[in-house]
Amino acid sequence: MKKRVRKKSQHNETDLVLLLKQGDKFAFEELYHRYIDRMLGFASSFLLNAEEAEEVVQIVFIGVWDNRKSFDPEKSFSAYLYRSIKNRILNRIRDQKKMCDLSNISDEKSFDGLDIEREICLKETTREALEVVSKMPKIRQRVFILSKIDGLSNKEIAEKLSISTRTVEHHIYKAKKSFKVNNFDNIVLFLLFMNEILYC
């Protein structure tokens, strides 16, 4: 059976978001199909479990429909999706206590002591991750940020920096090796929230 090719709408993103605000389901479906693959790839780069990544993305799109009236057509819809997925992933990591080893927390801590301990641990992890990035060659830092934080593909990075795709792959490989820890992908999540610092 021949696969049916879905016809792409002629509306631009701003028009689609405006229609979405008005409750247009076709506009929502168009935005969904335009961004679903990109968002799944973005989430999958930080969550090793494909089903978990899909769940996060689907929850974000459900939120898009539920909060459709609050969208500003003049603001980037894709940026909203990236930001929402980042927040969802961070919350999931925090809930599962994957980022820090809290096994040595004293039983004598106050009721909110666990949260204080976790916050300290998170800040320390972020500091260490940023230190690793700061020691990378400038071009490697740039490639790393564009890949893991901005979610660009290797081809897009190559075009943006005027280098070959193989060079991009090499820098990403070397960047990963710089993190001599098992939870590399989790540490990268914290860099998502340090964007301003990295670009200073």
Q: What is the pLDDT of residues 7-48, one digit of tens each?
A: 555 778 899 999 999 999 999 999 999 999 999 988 887 776
Return the CATH fold of 120-198.
Arc Repressor Mutant, subunit A (1.10.10)
Class of 13-96 per CATH? mainly alpha
pLDDT tens track for 54-93: 999 999 999 999 999 999 988 999 999 988 988 888 777 6
**CB burial class (10 A; 0-12, 13-18, 19+) of residue 196?**
exposed
Burial-class residue 21 by CB neighbours within 10 Å (0-12, 13-18, 19+): middle
Residues of the chain with CATH 1.10.10.10: 120-198
Which residues of the chain form CATH 1.10.1740.10? 13-96
